[in-house]
Structure 1
Amino acid sequence: MSDSLGHKAMKGTVWATVDRIGNMCLQFGVNLVLARLLLPREFGAIGMLEIFIVVSQVLIDGGFAAALIQKKNPTQTDYSTIFYWNIFIAVILYGAIFLCAPFVAEFFNLPLLRNLLRVIGLILITNAFSLIQTNRLRKKLELNKLACANLCAYTISGILAVATAYFGFGVWSLVVLQLGYSTLLAVILWVITGWMPSAVFSRQSLRELFGFGGYLLAATLLQEICKNLQGVIIGKRFSATAMGLYSQASKLDRIASYTLPNILVQVMYPVYASVQDDDERLVNMLGLNTRFISSVIFPLMAVLILVAHPLIVCLWGDAWSACAPYFQILCVGGLFICLQNTNFFAVAAKGKSRLLFYWSIYKWSFLLLCLFVGMNFGIYGLLWGMTLSNFNIFMVNALLASRHTGYKFSMQLGDIMPLLSLAAVAFSLTYMLGNLLTCHFIVTVIVFATIYIALACSFNLKVVGEIKMVIMRFLKKQKISVS
C-alpha cells in the first residue's frame, strides 16, 4: 500500500471510528432513556415495520452506491443520474407503502400500525436526498464530514425523541427519532458537501452502473428480506412484547458485533476497490482486518454472554430481564457475523457482483429454512436457527474470498482460531471463578479482560504486534503532519 493510500485509510478509519462509536454512544444513551419511558410492545410495534422500510431502502439504493464506489472515476453525469433515479424510486415505493399500510395493520392485528407505517415511510424520501452526498464523501474518504453530519443529526433527533416520550407520545417518539434523524442528516449533508445535481439524466450511465450494481441489489435485497423476516415471524406468531424483547436484544448485539466491522468495511471497501488488481496487497489487508476484528469481537461476545442478565437489568430495568437469553443467543451468532462483510466486500471489489448474487440465493434460502424449522421450537428455536444461518453465511463468504482474492480459507482459519481459542479459555476460567466468587458483573468483565490480554501477550500473537505497529505508524504520521 502506498503511503498516501495507507495514510488516507488510517485517517479514514479514525474518523469512521469517531462516527461509529459516537453514534453508538448516542444511540445507546437515547435507547437507555426510551427503554425506561416506553414498554416492550411499543418497541415491538416499530420492529414489525422494519422489514418494509429496510427492503424499500435497498430498492431505492439499487446497488448504485456500491457501483459508484467500485467505479474508478465516476462523473458528474453518473452522480446526477443516480440522484434523480433515487428520488423517483423513493416516491413510487412510498406510494406503495401508503396504500398497503391498512393491510399490514390487519396482518399483525394491530390497527396502530397503519398510521405508523404511513408516517415512518417518509424516511424513504428523506434518505433518497442524502444517498449521493454520503456516497461522494465515502468515495473520497472524507469521513470527517460524514461523522460530523451523523453525530449532529442524531443528537438533535435523540433529544426530540426523549422529549416526546417524556410527554407521553409513546411509540411516536420512536418515529420522531428515525424520521428526525433522516431529515436532519439530509439537510446537513447538502450544506456541508456543496454538491448539486446537474440537469442531466443519462440512460447509458444508469445501464452501466446497473450492470455491476444490479447484482449487488438483488443480493442485498435477498439478504435484507431474509434478515428482517424474523421480525415478521415473531410479531405474527408470538407477540408484540416478544418482538420488543428481540428488538432490544438485537440492537445491543448489533452495537457489539457490528460496530468495529462496519467501521473497517466503510473505510476499506474503497481501498479494496483501488487495489483490486493487486492480489498480494488485497490479501495482506484482508488478513490484517480479520485478525484485528477477531481479536476484539471474539472476547467481547464471550464476556457479554457471561454478564448478559445483570447487564440488561442494570441498563433497562427488571421489565426487560426476559431479554437476556435472546441476547446471549444473538451473541453466539455475532462470532460469525463480525467477519461476514470483510470477505463479502473484498469479493465485490474484484467485480464479482454476479457471483455474490448467485450465492446469496443459497445463503438466504438456508436462512429461510432455519427460520421456518426453528420457529416450531419456540422463540429460542428461531434464534438458534438464525445463529446456524450466520455460521453458514460466514463459511460461504470466506470460501468465496479464498477463491477470488487469494486469501485462502486455511490462512483465514489460521488467523481466526488462535483468537477464538483464547476467548474460549478466558470465558471458561472466568465462568469457573464466577461460580466460586459472587461479584458484580463489572468485576467479571475486568477479570475476563485481564485473563484474555495476559494470554494474548503470553502467546505473542501476531495481531498484538500489528496493533502496536498501526498505532505507532499513525501517531508518527500525525506528528509529521503537525510539524
Structure 2
Amino acid sequence: MTTIASRMLSGSAWLSGARIVTNILSFVSTIVLARLLAPADFGIVALGTTLMAILSSITEISLSQALIQHRNPTEEHFHTAWTLNGLRGIVLALIMCGAAWPMAIIYEDNRLIPVVCVMAIGVVISGLGNPRRIMFQKKLIFWQEFLLLVTNRVTMVVSTIWLAIVWDSYWALIVGVLLGQLVQTLVSYAILPFLPRPGLNHARELWSFSVWLTLGQAINTINWRFDQLLVGGLLGNATLGHYAVGSNLAQVPTRETTNPIRQTLFPALSQIADDPPRLRQGYQRAQALITLVALPMGIGVALVADTLVLAAMGSKWLPAVPIIQALSVIFAVQTIGSMVSSLGMARGHTKLLFVRDLQMFFIRLPIIVAGTLMFGLAGLIGARVISGLIGTFVNMLVVRQLVQLGVWEQLAVNIRSLVSAAAMAVVVLLFQRTAGLADGTLMQAVLDIAANAALGAVVYIAANLLLWRLAGRPNGPETELIGMAAKVIRRLVPGRA
C-alpha cells in the first residue's frame, strides 16, 4: 500500500501540475475570448460539442480502461485497440455529418451544418492516437500525460485567441480545438514510438470488459448534456452561452482537484482489487482526501463569482454568476462518493456501474425537464442541485455494495471538511458584507478576491485542524496532508527530519 500510495502521489503531482498549467491557460483563454466573442458564439459551438459528446459516448468503447485492467496486454492487444478506435472515429464522423442537417432544422440555424462537419474531423484525429501510451498509466507513470495535456492546451489556446482576433468569429473556437487534437495525437507517438497495423484479434476480449462502460458512458453523457440541448431549444443561444460557460467555470475547481487522483486511483486500485481490506482502505483514504481539498475550492469560487465575472469577463456575462455559484457548490459536495467508478472498474463490476448510470438517467432527466419547463433557467439550476444531491447518495450506496463500506462510514470521514467549509462560507460572507464588493478596476477586483481567498483558507484550515484535534487526531485526510507536507519539506530541506 505504501509503495502504491507513493506512486499515486507522484502520478497525481504530474497530473496536478498539468491541470494547473492547462487551467491557467484555459482561464486566460476564456476571459480573452469572452471579450472578443459574443455569448451567442459560445452557444452555437456548445450545440455542436453537445451533439459530438452524446454521439461520442454512444460509440465509446473504453479500451484504455480495458487495457489497464488487463493483467498482461500484448502488442496484438494494442493493434486491436488502435484499429477499433480508428474505425470508431470514422463511423462517428460520418454519423455526425449525417446528423448536422436535421439538427440545423431543429434549431433553425444552418450554421450548425459546417460547424458539426468540421468538428467531425477532430473525432477522426483523436481516434488515431497511440493506444500503447496507456502502459505508462498502468505502471502509475504520468509524466507523459503532463506533456500531452500541456501541448494540447497551449496549441489550442494560442491558436484560438489568435484566430478570434483575426476572424472575430466562433470558427476560432472550433479550429483551435482541431489543432490541439492534431498536436496531441502526434505527440502521443513521439513519447512512445509505436507502428500500428490493422487487426481485430482481441476485439471480443477487450469488448467483454468495456461493453458496460460504453453503455454507461452513453447514458451518462446524454444525461449530463441533455440540459444544454434543452436550453438551446427553449431559451436561445445567448442563454445557452451563459449556461455553458457558467457550468464549465463552476466545474473547474472540483474537476481539477479530483481528476489527478481519479486518473491514478483506477490503476492503483486495480493492483489491490483482490485484497478487500486494502481496497476498502485505499478507496476511503483517497475519497476523503479529495473532498477535503475540493470543498473549499468549489465553495470559494461560489463566494467570489460575482466579482470575478464582472471584472474579468464584463457585465454581459453577469447572468452566468448564479449558475457558477450554485453549481460550483454542488460539484464540490458531489466529491463524496465520486470515486465509485474507479472502484467499480478495479473490481471488474462494470455492469453495476451501468445500472447506477441508468438509474440516475431516469431520476435526473425528469427533474431537469420539469424544472426548466416550469421555471426556466432558475428551475434548471435548482434541478441540477437536487439531482446532484441524489446522485451523491446513490454513489455511496454503490460503494457500500462494492466494498461493504456503510453510508455513514463514508460520510463520517468527511464531516470535519463539511463543517469547516460551512464555517468558511459564513465568515467570508460576513467579511464581504462589511467590506463591500469591488466595483472599480481589475486590480481592485484581484485584491478583493485575494483577500477573500486568504481569509477563507485560514478559517477552513483552522477549523479543520481544531475539529481534528478535538476528535483525538484520528487517521483521516488531515493525516494524509500532514504526511505529504512532511515529505515535501524533507525533500526541499536536505537533512531535515
User: Fold match, TM over 0.5?
Assistant: yes
After TM superposition, where is structure 1 displaced by more than 4 Å over at least 4 residues in a row?
474-480
| 1:105 aligns to 2:104 (yes or no) | yes
Worse-superposed segment, 223-232 or 246-255: 246-255
Instruction: Return the offset for 1:36.
Output: 1.2
TM-score by length of 2: 0.91
Contact 1:69 1:139 in 2 (8 A): yes
Worse-superposed segment, 437-446 or 362-371: 437-446
Structure 1: 5+ residue runs without aligned partners?
A: none
Which one of the candidate residues 206, 223, 245 is aligned to 2:242? 245
Letter in 2 for 1:289: A
SS where residue 197 of structure 1 aligns? coil
Instruction: Return the offset for 1:477.
Output: 7.5
TM-score by length of 1: 0.94
Structure 2: 5+ residue runs without aligned partners?
A: 438-447, 470-475
Q: Look up the match of 1:359.
A: 356
Instruction: Return the offset for 1:270.
Output: 0.3
- Describe the shift of the 1:478–1:401 C-alpha distance in structure 2 as closer, same or farther (beyond 3 A): farther
Residues 70-469 of structure 1 aligned to structure 2 (within 5 Å) = 70-130=69-129, 132-202=131-201, 205-376=202-373, 377-438=375-436, 440-460=448-468, 462-469=476-483
The CA distance in 1 between the partners of 2:17 and 2:51, in whole Å, is 30
- Describe the shift of the 1:215–1:477 C-alpha distance in structure 2 as closer, same or farther (beyond 3 A): farther
CA offset digits 1:181-213 (Å, max 9, x no partner) = 1111001111111122245321xx211221121
- Describe the shift of the 1:171–1:133 C-alpha distance in structure 2 as closer, same or farther (beyond 3 A): farther
- Describe the shift of the 1:393–1:135 C-alpha distance in structure 2 as closer, same or farther (beyond 3 A): farther
Letter in 2 for 1:118: C
Contact 2:78 2:132 in 1 (8 A): no
Instruction: Return the offset for 1:464.
Output: 2.4
Letter in 1 for 2:136: L
Give the paired residue count. Answer: 477
Worse-superposed segment, 68-77 or 241-250: 68-77
The CA distance in 2 between the partners of 1:7 and 1:300, in whole Å, is 24
Instruction: Return the offset for 1:437.
Output: 2.9
Percent of pairs with identical residues: 20
- Describe the shift of the 1:340–1:54 C-alpha distance in structure 2 as closer, same or farther (beyond 3 A): farther
Instruction: Return the offset for 1:2.
Output: 4.6
Instruction: Return the offset for 1:438.
Output: 2.4
Q: CA RMSD in A?
A: 1.9
The CA distance in 2 between the partners of 1:131 and 1:341, in whole Å, is 28
SS where residue 72 of structure 2 aligns? coil
SS where residue 468 of structure 2 aligns? coil
Q: Look up the match of 1:45.
A: 44
The CA distance in 2 between the partners of 1:475 and 1:206, in whole Å, is 48
Worse-superposed segment, 281-290 or 100-109: 281-290
Residues 24-43 of structure 1 aligned to structure 2 (within 5 Å) = 24-43=23-42
SS where residue 460 of structure 1 aligns? helix
Contact 2:132 2:194 in 1 (8 A): yes
Contact 2:151 2:180 in 1 (8 A): no
The CA distance in 2 between the partners of 1:129 and 1:475, in whole Å, is 43
CA offset digits 1:374-431 (Å, max 9, x no partner) = 1121111112112222222221111111121233322111011221111112211221
The CA distance in 2 between the partners of 1:275 and 1:391, in whole Å, is 30
Worse-superposed segment, 127-136 or 212-221: 127-136
Contact 2:428 2:452 in 1 (8 A): yes
Letter in 1 for 2:340: N
CA offset digits 1:69-105 (Å, max 9, x no partner) = 1112122111111210111121112112112211111
Letter in 2 for 1:456: N
Q: Look up the match of 2:445.
A: none
CA offset digits 1:8-44 (Å, max 9, x no partner) = 2221111111122221111112122111111111011
Letter in 2 for 1:58: S
